[in-house]
Structure 1
Amino acid sequence: MILSGGENVHPVQVEAVLNEHPGVTDAAVVGAPDPEWGQLVTAYVVRKDPEVTVADLEKHCRAHPMLAAYKRPRAYRFVDALPVTSTGKKIHYQLRERVAADAEAGELERVGREPRGAVRRGSWGAAPGPRSSSAGGAGKVERLIRG
């Protein structure tokens, strides 16, 4: 179980969604240590199509009706093979041990996001500006306090 931002994410559900993508042979999902979220949902993916990108997988996960937004992987690592037992079961603990080192080495591809402190724009494209005092906001409060 991955605990990300106070939400429980079951890796098997995320893996099933990723495995539905036609360009994916197999996937394993683990939590990478993250100072902001506790754990970051991270997918190790074996590609069937070498042209598959993080953006393709993000689009697929966003469109999938059975995957909530908080369960989507926020980082990916493309690998040639996943560690498996002799019976073919994925060895998640090996990937959990490996993910911190991969993150430290910059091997994980993060899903695009706005940097912290970025100005969000409204749907019409205008940046939010300062409130005008002519609307009576802060000036009115100041006049009431001073009497």
Structure 2
Amino acid sequence: MIIRNAYNVHPSVVEAPLSKHPKVQDVRIVSVPDPASVEEICACIILKEGQSVDSEEMKTFCVDIGMVPIEMPGYFIFLDEFPVVATLRKVDRKKLRLIAMEKLGLTE
């Protein structure tokens, strides 16, 4: 659960609509620290082979599909793969959060 401006946002509520973007192969949502809103939503995206997209295009897509503003990611980062847990069955969201914070230059 992500706490953003006193609202609870579940990652799957944001992941589902973003995964419908035609260039997106996979998406995971993590929280990153934000002094203004406690936590900010960060969309970690793996694009389909040969595709390219930027944060502005993703923001426009969110507006076009009618995403509620409180659920709209503040950050979009693009990765080649997600870190996985030792069993290789699930995405390691804790490591993914650290990767996102590093890419965005954020600290706790």
Give the structure-2-normalised TM-score: 0.84
- Give 1:67-106 correspondences, 5 Å limit: 67-85=67-85, 86-87=88-89, 89-104=90-105
Counterpart of 1:36?
36
Which has more radius of gyration?
A: 1
2:72, 2:40 → 1: CA distance? 10
Counterpart of 2:61?
60
Give the structure-1-normalised TM-score: 0.63
Q: Deviations over 1:17-74 (max 9, x none)?
A: 1110000000111111011111111011111153222122111111224x31110111
In structure 1, give the amino acid aligned to 2:27.
A
Do the aligned residues in 2 keep the contact of 1:18 with 1:27 (CA within 8 Å)?
Answer: yes
In structure 2, give the amino acid aligned to 1:13.
V
1:54, 1:102 → 2: CA distance? 14
In structure 2, give the amino acid aligned to 1:55.
E
In structure 1, give the amino acid aligned to 2:3.
L
2:98, 2:47 → 1: CA distance? 22
- Give 1:1-147 correspondences, 5 Å limit: 1-48=1-48, 49-65=50-66, 67-85=67-85, 86-87=88-89, 89-104=90-105
In structure 1, give the amino acid aligned to 2:8.
N
Counterpart of 1:113?
none
In structure 1, give the amino acid aligned to 2:99.
R
Structure 2 segments unaligned to the other structure (5+ residues)? none
Do the aligned residues in 1 keep the contact of 2:44 with 2:100 (CA within 8 Å)?
Answer: no
In structure 1, give the amino acid aligned to 2:30.
V
Aligned residues: 103
Do the aligned residues in 2 keep the contact of 1:32 with 1:103 (CA within 8 Å)?
Answer: no
Q: Which secondary structure state, in structure 2, belongs to the residue aligned with residue 59 of structure 1?
A: helix
Structure 1 segments unaligned to the other structure (5+ residues)? 106-147
User: Per chain length, whose mean CA-contact separation is higher, i.e. which structure has more relative contact order (CA < 8 Å, sep 6+)?
Assistant: 2
2:22, 2:35 → 1: CA distance? 33
